[in-house]
Structure 1
């Protein structure tokens, strides 16, 4: 999303590899096992795509990543562009413009490459989840609960809806970035869809509490039903906060029939466990164009799992959204995550 103050093909790639109750160097390498926490280490980062263009399109504004069926990376920009990137070098291979059914540009935020090669892409403005052909044609649009629509149509705040999108239990999961009006601050809703005969039908909804002042820009499902969840915030003059959590919705309540998530002690929220605060990672010689708690940090918004290491750790790729802003950087982060 365009950041304000106060990360089924991905699942297939995982399987194959397998409550609340350019400025500077293109690549920087680290010794294996550079620890951010006991659970997370960072191998390297890449600024190779920062402030570059491809076929006349600005390369950046990345809001989501997914592993394509051929091993390349699909990357969506929130300025209505879908890129294909080389899975090893990140070099752009193609770019496709995105639009809604009337041809209007989108604030595209989440991305899943479906088993048939079509792209499921969430848009934050309505919000909506649309199915696209590889050439950018709109094929379908998924149903969305009325309460999740941006006010006055629903209770969602503008610029705070479907940031995260992931294949989930054979269906789909979308994460709201911020709480609905009337819900307790910090409690965001995660909406799921069940896949039925090639289409998606509304299914269970869950509640997740983000840390104070943070939102949820991305969620990525693991084969066992748990989620990797990114939480993020920004404070002017201080910089970004980015934390990676392991979340378990398997015993959480279905909140689809709960109108207001406030004063509801019987509602079991998704349990979460902190894996790492990215500010605690070694900076690897990174530089920042604005104040940051760690110069490695930027507006990290995209996440996908690209495989597993020989030891069984997840290979997790993050990317930042530079908002096409000279004071921000398009940066990719290569993590190893043990869950």
Structure 2
């Protein structure tokens, strides 16, 4: 039966098919690196964590003299122009997140949140980021969501995340291949040499041709053979404004959601399924099952015994 243990700032989650850790201090957000254990095969994720969260951006050039410039023109960011709206980078700089844990019959949910503390170009800091993750018995993946409530009016506001998560390797030794639903399959050998995000595998939303799926996955190498796929599925593909998959010492799986006008006080977000699949067809079936889901809502209270979660579109 799904359960959790809180040990200081660490939440340890256990279901019949998965185990994972959420660290709410230090390097924060999402699932702690290499702790998502697939009990069916014994494999773990290979990177810096899963569903890791960064900052708020907009697709504009910085003005001269900006005190918080966004750098580009290198292998990290390529020639893709952006500028910060609110900071810090949550995963590396927030240092500590508020959180709550809920449990029910066969499920555990973890909710984390943080208010950005810096803003650019005369805007206010304080936009609220919320992340909810739900783990259920009987599933080798978990459901998760992000929600931003902005304190600023921004014409094209985006949230940057890692989805499913960056991939560590040494000359392609730990994985077989990468699959991008909008770009096909690439062998591990394609990620030996560094290249910037705009060199290849760059996705940019075109509202006239939204893809049917937004699935980004890597197939692990297990004892020298092909193992399962670790996939990140964005359940409403239309919310993704841009996505990268490039090599910069590791495979960088950046994804940006939003990119639409947001007025002060308004919210936007996305929902995902993240975890283990034997075949890409299985990931597509999961995407079909939850197609169009935009978020996760927790309701009720532990005190009254009616704590529950639901999905919304």
* Greater relative contact order (Cα < 8 A, sep 6+): 1
Length-normalised TM-score, structure 1: 0.29
Question: Which structure is higher in strand share?
Answer: 2
